[in-house]
Amino acid sequence: MNKPGSPILKYWQIPPLFKRGGISPFIGLLLLTFGLLSGCTLSGCGDQASGPDGAGNQQAVANNIYDEAWNMINQEYVDGSFNGQDWGEWRNRFRGVIKDPDDAYVAIGTMVASLNDEYTRFLRPRDMSEQTMSIDSKLYGVGIQISMRDNKLMVLATIEDTPAEKAGLMPKDVITHIDGHETAGMSVEDAADKIRGEKDTFVTLTVKRGKQEFEKRIQRGEIKLKSVFTKPLDDKRIGYIRLSSFISETMLNELDDIMRKMQDKQALIIDLRGNYGGLFSNAVEIADKFLDHGDIVSIVNREKDRRVYEAHTGMDYQKPLVVLIDGGSASASEILSGALKDNHRATLIGSQSFGKGLVQKINTLSNGSGLNITISKYLTPNGTDINKKGIEPNIKVSYTEEDFRAHRDPQLERAVKYLESQYLASK
């Protein structure tokens, strides 16, 4: 979730498309909380009433689900104008029309679509279950994240060492067909359903990249998610840490373990390319490891209340730092890179980040379905709203398809040269 043409094509803001236990097909959420499921399985939840009054009970349950969704959005959605409409009109718009849960799902989807917010989404029970279990489940699929932009199904990122990466899919690739089915007008959810499948089965994606159009026949497989990893560089004085996502609850422990092993390094490169985001708390706590003062991020809700997260005194790592970003660096990645850039703690190298400056909360409805609701926006320490704009690197370095094919990484090479010339004594 890297840049258009980055070497480390990775794992939300759009989650990977897996057969079981994967993140549901919604663009990488900057997660504040996770909903809890009760009595639901991967095949759905028990929302079909039975018995003599089954039909009546089913209708009551379905209408209750709709009311819950309306209330959650009414109370928590970041835009108090609800995209310039009278939200109260939606309260009873489908009264008498909703007969069963499927009707409720369609009605909620229609209501949510009126907000014109790609990050506020309704999740059916299956999708909610997959999203909740994504943190610690075994995952299968091709290993890409997708989003719908300008009515085009676009690859946001690929996960490292997955079928999608090995097939050469890249961020900003447009998927025009899935097994021959046109994606124009298709929802992200429907696209995800078509791309998913059993392990070792195949899916054929028709991809448009610039003026080129080609097909990729990809064999689905197990997706092994990694949060933190490292590799040796030619210059042994410089440590390299790749953060592939912020979704794991064990990420901080993983990072601490690697940092302890790099105490002898004179400088450090943190690679956020293709990192679509994840847990808000991870982004803040990691930023705090590299800062001893200053703001990390500000969260602004619809009442314009502003909560500022500040760095604590003292930092775990005080040596020179470079951060690599690209078009796949989104959400929590942008919180971290924005904090380090605005506080002049790190030099950012690469290309412009994705531009997701909104925060979602995951809410569970009574039957196991759910809502991802945009509840606030965030600002970098300088007060910059980066939503749909992204963060500009201090040093721009492109990464082309030719570089990818030739196994070159000009952005990483530039980071090493920068640290050598600015901070490290010549060899």
Active site residues: 331, 342, 356
Burial bucket for residue 393 (CB in 10 Å: 0-12, 13-18, 19+): buried
Task: Report the distance separating Cα 212 and Cα 320, nearest Å.
Answer: 41
| Pair type for strands 16-18 and 321-325 | unpaired
Two tokens at 118? 């790609």
Burial 354-387 (b: 16+ CB within 10 A, else e): bbbbbbbbbbbbebbbbbbbbbbbbbbbeebebb
Given a contact cutoff of 8 angstroms between Cβ atoms, the answer to whether 2 and 171 are in contact is yes
**E strands within 278-339?**
295-300, 306-310, 321-325
Query: How many other C-beta atoms are found inside a 10 Å radius of the C-beta of residue 152?
Result: 14
| Pair type for strands 321-325 and 267-271 | parallel
Task: Report the distance separating Cα 419 and Cα 81, nearest Å.
Answer: 48
In one-letter notation, the amino acid at residue 12 is: W
DSSP assigned state of 40 = E
| Pair type for strands 212-219 and 181-182 | unpaired
Angle at 18 (CA atoms; ends 17, 24), nearest 5 degrees: 60
Q: Report the candidate in 350, 349, 381, 371 with the shortest Cα–Cα distance to residue 283.
A: 381
Q: Kindly report the backbone phi and psi dihedral angles of residue 254, in degrees, each rounded to the nearest multiple of 5, phi listed first.
A: -60, -45
- What length is written for the chain? 427
Torsion of CA 397, 398, 402, 406, to 10 degrees: 30
Q: Kindly report the backbone phi and psi dihedral angles of residue 322, in degrees, each rounded to the nearest multiple of 5, phi listed first.
A: -120, 140
- Concatenating the DSSP letter of every residue in 42-74 gives TTEE-----STTHHHHHHHHHHHHHHHHHHHHH
